[in-house]
């Protein structure tokens, strides 16, 4: 699906950009936060394509020299992989706009959000969510409750990816968060993570996009689901009675990358500079409570807004950082096993616990 955003209030020209991002509340925050303002300022038409992650399509386009994606919103581990494969344009961070007080971008962006082939935009988070109507008395409030089908029965929603799921499985099984990637680096540790997931596998409903995860919760198809925190906040503002379990949230960076061999590389760089300015990142955060990666952007936000973000002090107490470097090295080894495991038939109860 393509969202074609028309230029309003600016003199139109025939220049166009194709920007690839995610879906639902997240892409809405980008459209309202800085895509429409960029169109209004420049007269450039921005076409927004939605995808569900990965670098396969970027690899196909770049290798064929048939690139029609000008800028892509990537998970950090995918950006690292794409950069190492030579699929992305290397960027000069000195060209990024300084903060309003003159602080250089290199000092204003938070740690790890600038990389050779990418520029960070938000700190996102995967959390567990459930409907308040599900349980009248005792309600789940910790990660272990997601894996407890006796105390909290019902189907579980999970993203169809090993990232995050394997970490949660080990933590719920007693592995200290700081030891998770050390354990996952061993075959025994990987086996252990899959064994924990096996306990709930007959009750898992898989999702691929954030919009799908929210719909599973809104339609009561699952009792609990992993989901992006900002999507829950958006649903609550629409009146959905959803709650977030922040315990052991998994936080991550999203970054912009420019595929090589594109026809609009310089225009894409211009958009990138606009989209990652102090003002643009703060504007996006007003539409979805993800942490902007510039310190100067955070300073423009109201305290109440900052408290709803995954980066707030209260929400970081048990938070786990998705180790993007580790996943960039291990995804090709683990992903095929994960897909085989997902597709392997399991004994499904005639009636799922409700």
Q: pLDDT of 272-292, one tens digit each?
A: 999 999 999 999 999 999 999
For the residues 43-53, what does the mean pLDDT come to?
A: 96
Which of 3.20.20.80, 1.10.10.10, 3.40.190.10, 3.90.1150.10 would CATH assign to domain 2-123+253-307?
3.40.190.10
Residue 252, helix vs strand vs coil: strand
118-158 pLDDT, tens digit per residue, is: 999 999 999 999 999 888 889 999 999 999 999 999 999 99
- Quote the pLDDT of residue 137: 85
- Quote the pLDDT of residue 3: 41
- Quote the pLDDT of residue 213: 96
Torsion, CA 289, CA 23, CA 84, CA 189, rounded to 10:
70
For the residues 203-225, what does the mean pLDDT come to?
A: 96
Read off the tokens for 274: 């606009």
Work out the mean pLDDT of the chain and round it to a whole number. 93
Give residue 333's Cα distance to chain centre: 22
Torsion, CA 344, CA 345, CA 351, CA 354, rounded to 10:
0
293-306 pLDDT, tens digit per residue, is: 999 999 999 999 99
Read off the tokens for 74: 């990537």
Contacts of 193 (CB under 8 A, 6+ apart): 166, 167, 169, 170, 173, 183, 184
For the residues 221-234, what does the mean pLDDT come to?
A: 96
- Quote the pLDDT of residue 13: 57
Q: Which of 28-37, 171-180, 182-191, 341-350 has the lowest mean pLDDT?
A: 341-350
Does this model's pTM top 0.85? My answer is yes
Report the alpha-carbon distance of residue 244 to residue 231 in Å, rounded. Answer: 11
Which of 3.40.50.300, 3.40.190.10, 3.40.50.1000, 3.40.50.720 would CATH assign to domain 127-250+315-343?
3.40.190.10
Domain chopping of the chain, boundaries = 2-123+253-307, 127-250+315-343
- Quote the pLDDT of residue 272: 98
Contact assessment for residue 99 and residue 282, using Cβ atoms and an 8 Å cutoff: no
Contacts of 153 (CB under 8 A, 6+ apart): 223, 353, 354
For the residues 14-25, what does the mean pLDDT come to?
A: 94
Read off the tokens for 194: 């899959």
- Quote the pLDDT of residue 347: 59
Kindly give the residue spans of alpha helices, DSSP state H, lying in the chain.
24-30, 36-42, 56-63, 76-84, 105-108, 143-146, 165-172, 180-184, 187-198, 210-218, 229-237, 265-275, 278-285, 295-298, 303-307, 324-343
- Quote the pLDDT of residue 135: 87
Contact assessment for residue 269 and residue 338, using Cβ atoms and an 8 Å cutoff: no
Contact assessment for residue 271 and residue 47, using Cβ atoms and an 8 Å cutoff: no
Answer yes or no: is pLDDT of 9 > 50: no
Same fold? 2-123+253-307, 127-250+315-343: yes
What percent of the chain shows pLDDT beyond 70? 94
- Quote the pLDDT of residue 5: 40
For the residues 226-231, what does the mean pLDDT come to?
A: 96
For the residues 25-43, what does the mean pLDDT come to?
A: 97
- Quote the pLDDT of residue 72: 98
Q: Which of 128-142, 167-181, 247-261 has the lowest mean pLDDT?
A: 128-142
Read off the tokens for 62: 């770049």
Q: What confidence category does residue 112 fall into, taking pLDDT thresholds of 50, 70 and 90?
A: confident
Contact assessment for residue 110 and residue 99, using Cβ atoms and an 8 Å cutoff: no
Report the alpha-carbon distance of residue 22 to residue 73 in Å, rounded. Answer: 8
Q: What confidence category does residue 348 fall into, taking pLDDT thresholds of 50, 70 and 90?
A: low
**Phi, psi (5° rounding) for residue 137?**
-105, -100
């Amino acid at each position: 699906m393509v969202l074609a955003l028309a230029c309003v209030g600016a003199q139109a020209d025939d220049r166009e950009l194709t920007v690839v991002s995610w879906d639902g509340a997240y892409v809405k925050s980008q459209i309202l936060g800085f895509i429409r303002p960029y169109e209004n300022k420049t007269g450039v038409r921005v076409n927004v394509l939605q995808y569900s992650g990965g670098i396969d399509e970027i690899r196909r386009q770049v290798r064929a020299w048939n690139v029609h994606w000008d800028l892509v919103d990537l998970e950090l581990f995918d950006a690292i992989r794409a950069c190492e494969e030579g699929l992305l344009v290397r960027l000069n961070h000195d060209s990024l706009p300084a903060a309003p007080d003159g602080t250089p971008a290199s000092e204003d962006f938070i740690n790890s959000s600038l990389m050779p082939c990418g520029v960070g935009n938000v700190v996102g988070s995967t959390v567990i969510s459930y409907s308040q109507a599900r349980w009248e008395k005792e309600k789940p409030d910790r990660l272990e409750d997601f894996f407890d089908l006796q105390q909290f029965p019902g189907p579980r929603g999970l993203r169809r990816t090993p990232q995050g799921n394997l970490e949660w499985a080990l933590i719920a099984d007693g592995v200290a968060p700081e030891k998770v990637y050390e354990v996952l680096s061993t075959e025994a540790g990987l086996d252990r993570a899959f064994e924990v997931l096996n306990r709930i596998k007959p009750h898992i409903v898989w999702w691929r996009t954030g919009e799908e995860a929210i719909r599973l919760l809104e339609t009561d198809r699952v009792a609990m689901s992993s989901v992006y925190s900002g999507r829950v906040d958006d649903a609550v503002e629409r009146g959905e009675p959803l709650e977030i379990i922040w315990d052991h949230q998994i936080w991550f960076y999203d970054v912009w990358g420019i595929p090589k061999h594109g026809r609009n590389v310089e225009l894409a760089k211009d958009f990138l500079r606009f989209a990652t300015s102090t003002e643009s990142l703060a504007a996006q955060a007003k539409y979805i409570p993800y942490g902007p990666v510039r310190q100067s952007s955070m300073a423009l936000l109201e305290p109440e807004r900052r408290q709803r973000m995954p980066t707030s002090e209260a929400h970081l107490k048990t938070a786990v950082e998705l180790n993007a470097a580790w996943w960039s090295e291990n995804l090709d080894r683990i992903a095929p096993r994960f897909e085989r495991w997902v597709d392997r038939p399991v004994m499904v109860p005639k009636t799922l616990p409700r």
